[in-house]
Structure 1
Amino acid sequence: MRSAFISSAIALVASTLLLRGADAQQQLCNGYAELCAKTYDQVSYATTHNAYAYTPRGALAANQNNDIPTQLKDGIRAFMLDAYNLPSGGTNDIELCHSYCSLLDAGPLSAVLGQIKTFMDQNPNEVISIFWENAANLAPARFQTVYQAAGMTPYLYTQTAGSTTWPTLASMISSKKRLLNFVDSGADASVPWLMAEYDFIFETPWQITKGSEYPCTVDRPKGEERGMYVMNHFISGQVTVGDQTFDVPQSGIVAQTNGQDLASHANKCTQTFNKIPNFVAVDYYEQGSLLQTVAQLNGVNWNGKLPTAAPTSNKNTAVGKIGGASSTVVTFAAAAAAAAFAL
């Protein structure tokens, strides 16, 4: 009898501890308890520019080194993606490409949404945002088809156009509506969760070259501020091949770009606009101090979790992979290499 009593007591204590642990976990929003009471528009989010453009490793057109599951694990909470037609001509999916699919093709959106859904299923206290560059002018119905097939519908949040009142992260997490999608063009009422970015958000200029001043001006929509903003912070070199101009990421200076330069740029824009940047968009996020800077903007003590180091890669091998696609890409690779050295 006494043994049974002791066993019951132990079980009760264990259950209590588990519940307390669960409660503590419930109180975290995007990794920090202090963010739970903040509304979506009061928070800064670590953002990857061309998040999908990490393959082939070392490619001159790549903006990231780590894949999207790794980005999610490391604390990236907003992703910039580019929408293109499938090379096959099908309409049941969307291809993620950089400028041209012959230049950098990261594969179908369905695969990436599957990765994001797995993370969201396993991490119920995280609010995620996606920014779409609708490069191929796809209809919202195309996005709807892929998102539905990926099982994302329960997570999709919709903000009424014109509304300036956003929910707190805690309430979004409680409602499970914690995946926000913004598109730069083509939004319409038929798919309300695919929200017109410039109804809610403005962006600072994105074409920044080495040695130029980091701008804190309104680039898109031209001259019109909104309640939130993207601070674009990545250095690019431009390469012209024929009648096409390409942006080449500058990986060689990223430690400086994503280090003190990033903190200075964020402070400057905060003072200029009298509000913190909501989306701090960078290339090669794992280098520099993106996560520390975002924590500081959010007024929280950084949790000390370091991002995953980039996999080793061989740029010559990667250039060879993209170089086989077409003579245009071969020319691009050579011109891009020359531009990178010139910068």
Structure 2
Amino acid sequence: MRFSLALSTLALVAGSLAANCNGHAELCNRRYSNITFAGAHNSPFVGIGPSDNQFTSPTDQLKQGIRFLQAQTQEKDGEPEMCHTSCILEDAGTLQSYLSEIKSWVDANPNEVITLLITNPDAIDINKYGDAFKSTGLATYVFTPDGQLGLNDWPTLAEMISSGTRVVVFMDYNMDTSKVPYILDEFGYWFETPFSPTKDNFIQCNIDRPAGAKADGRMFLANHNLNIEILPDILIPDPLQAAKTNSIASITSQTNICVKNYGRNPNVVLLDFVSRGDTIKVQNQLNGL
């Protein structure tokens, strides 16, 4: 009797876990490429300084419901470091430390699929990124496609959770999938609207990167992080407007243009200061939840 009861309890727990994907049963049978994620722009740069883009830590961003984390790296002593433009300007620690924090959260949340978008402007050896994923254990969760995937080739969230491959990793430039096959070419899969927008080019949904790209067959990222130009070509985030910028009205004013242009919502709306405004409400709304 006790054995039967234990089996029944396990079955109920397993059924409950399987019923939700990223917090919603409705997302389980949706392909990864058919979901809109609110994204944290420069997720590790936390504080109130002019180079900070978030008020809360990556762990707290994930707890809030963010499932797409973007981060910059720069070369420091030959290794990738979480730096914003320059390690003198902003240094949030090692890549290993950043990935370890994420690994701890992923361990504790088995029904969640997350995405990392890492920049590599200094062309650091991709194997050093692979070493960081391996040393932290996050490599055990990464998603590695068999080949180039079209929009309809991506697995569902339920399939990714079931297989344990629920961390998707992209890099903007200087990746090499022949060496580290799970760090995917961002611009092989995505296009982006103009980044670092100011009030003069904020609400639009034009293709900016990669140059000459067409929307067909690609996921896309809408940059919705408002900046202030304090000097010519010197921009800083605008925290005072964060609640308004991250409101349903502001975000949907851009995503409505995206729908008009491309017939679909963006896959990511990338935001500064995700702890302000309607970040998760609008994520749910855009996913029809």
Alignment of structure 1 residues 49-64 onto 2, 5 Å:
49-54=41-46, 57-64=47-54
TM-aligned CA deviation for residue 145 of structure 1: 1.1
Alignment of structure 1 residues 229-308 onto 2, 5 Å:
229-240=220-231, 245-259=233-247, 260-300=249-289
TM-aligned CA deviation for residue 297 of structure 1: 1.3
C-alpha separation in 2, matches of 1:84 and 1:211: 29
Structure 1 residues 212 and 198, CA gap change in structure 2 (3 angstroms)? closer
TM-aligned CA deviation for residue 239 of structure 1: 4.0
TM-aligned CA deviation for residue 25 of structure 1: 1.9
TM-aligned CA deviation for residue 172 of structure 1: 0.7
User: Which consecutive unaligned segments of at least 5 residues does structure 2 have?
Assistant: none
What code does the residue aligned with 1:53 have? F
Are 2:43 and 2:58, in contact at CA under 8 Å, matched by a contact in 1?
yes
TM-aligned CA deviation for residue 152 of structure 1: 1.5
What code does the residue aligned with 1:233 have? H
Equivalent residue number for residue 156 of structure 1: 142
Runs of 4+ in 1 over 6 A off after TM superposition: none
TM-aligned CA deviation for residue 162 of structure 1: 3.1
Equivalent residue number for residue 202 of structure 1: 191
Equivalent residue number for residue 190 of structure 1: 179
C-alpha separation in 2, matches of 1:129 and 1:218: 21
Equivalent residue number for residue 176 of structure 1: 164
SS at match of 2:154: coil
How many percent of aligned residue pairs carry the same amino acid? Answer: 33
**C-alpha distance after superposition, 1:23-44 (max 9, x if no partner):** 1122211111011101110011
What code does the residue aligned with 1:230 have? L
TM-aligned CA deviation for residue 272 of structure 1: 1.6
User: Which consecutive unaligned segments of at least 5 residues does structure 1 have?
Assistant: 1-7, 301-343
What code does the residue aligned with 1:80 have? Q
Are 1:83 and 1:138, in contact at CA under 8 Å, matched by a contact in 2?
no
Which TM-score applies when normalising by structure 1?
Answer: 0.78
Alignment of structure 1 residues 1-343 onto 2, 5 Å:
8=1, 16-17=8-9, 19-54=11-46, 57-86=47-76, 89-91=77-79, 94-164=80-150, 165-188=153-176, 189-210=178-199, 212-224=201-213, 225=215, 226-240=217-231, 245-259=233-247, 260-300=249-289
SS at match of 1:85: strand
Greater CA deviation, 231-240 or 216-225?
231-240
SS at match of 1:105: strand
C-alpha separation in 2, matches of 1:246 and 1:138: 25
Structure 1 residues 213 and 90, CA gap change in structure 2 (3 angstroms)? closer
SS at match of 1:288: coil
Structure 1 residues 256 and 170, CA gap change in structure 2 (3 angstroms)? same
What code does the residue aligned with 1:85 have? E
Structure 1 residues 277 and 17, CA gap change in structure 2 (3 angstroms)? same
Which structure is larger by alpha-carbon Rg, 1 or 2? 1
